[in-house]
Amino acid sequence: MVAPIVTVTMNPTIDLSTSTDRVVATEKMRCAQPRTDPGGGGINVARTVLALGEPVLAVLPVGGPTGTVLEELLGHAAVPCRIISIDGSTRESFSVTDNESGRQFRFVFPGPTLTPSEWSRCLDTANDAARPAQYVVASGSLPPGVPSNFYQALATRVARAGSRFILDTSGEALRQMRHGAYLVKPSARELAHYVGHPLPDSDSRITAARELITGGVSELVVVSLGADGALVVGRDWWETVSATPVAVANATGAGDAMVAGLTVGFTRGLDTMDAMELGIAAASASLVTHGTNPGHPDVIANLLDVRTTTPAPLSHSTD
């Protein structure tokens, strides 16, 4: 399959989500019937791209009995995939919502250990898929066994293939990036970890984001700010984008939905800020869904319409 957008999920998961009246240490807590969704950063991106009506191809390693379940879930979600078989078992993650407080507790496991031959096959498969693509989106953590410079190796190959590389990761995998990204999307917390010190305000975040740009890592940086929206930084300009107030049902995957909307906007020829509006609408729509389901297309369209009928703020130049 040829698709304009390819996603790479090196550490996919089966997302289990449930709720209980109250989370209390050491007590047995009776939970609601769990919901099961295919998860992992790139998979979440792919599902939102499909919700927005664009073709996509997801590349991911899968193994063990849980891997079989994940493949079934992806089939039910109609996500086109290229699967790399591995010996280890695909991980599971789970989240529990405390109904009394409304808080969500998320538990994430490290994932299976990949052998050098397994992660090399992932790299080769992603490279083959990138050749006809416009954008390759790598999202999520790296599982054990995968070298921390994996995304840098992927970015180099994607650039040679003539595609643009978008990265949403954190920690050492982000620190190992040296060049080749078109856009990098850390959260404010992840960006602070990257530079090694707190970023308490917009000025410090803009300065930190510029380090990625002036260092040649990326052309654009989008810093997700949760309920405060996002900060978009270019070489000589920056812009803040407000969030859309919604009743949050589940926060898992909202950042991935934003990346998906952005990427779809780029493939449609939108400029950065118009693509960002689509990203915020997609993220907001995902917040009102349960589990890691993408936002419904009609909800995304309605939220986008509300946002685009409101005058946008002026961009800020540092010239």
Q: Which residues are catalytic?
A: 256
Between the CA of residue 294 and those of 124, 145, 253, 258, 259, what are the distances in Å? 28, 30, 8, 11, 12
Strands 181-184 and 218-224 come out as parallel
The owner of tokens 């992603």 is 126
255 touches 283 (CB < 8 A): yes
Q: Residues 6 or more apart from 105 whose CB is under 8 A from it?
A: 23, 95, 96, 97, 98
The pair of structure tokens assigned to 93 is 């993650």
265-299 as b/e, with b when 16 or more CB fall inside 10 Å? bbbeeeebebbbbbbbbbbbbbbbbebbbbbeeeb
185 touches 41 (CB < 8 A): no
The owner of tokens 């280890």 is 88
The owner of tokens 């990204």 is 181
Q: Which helix (H) or strand (E) holds 154?
A: helix 150-161
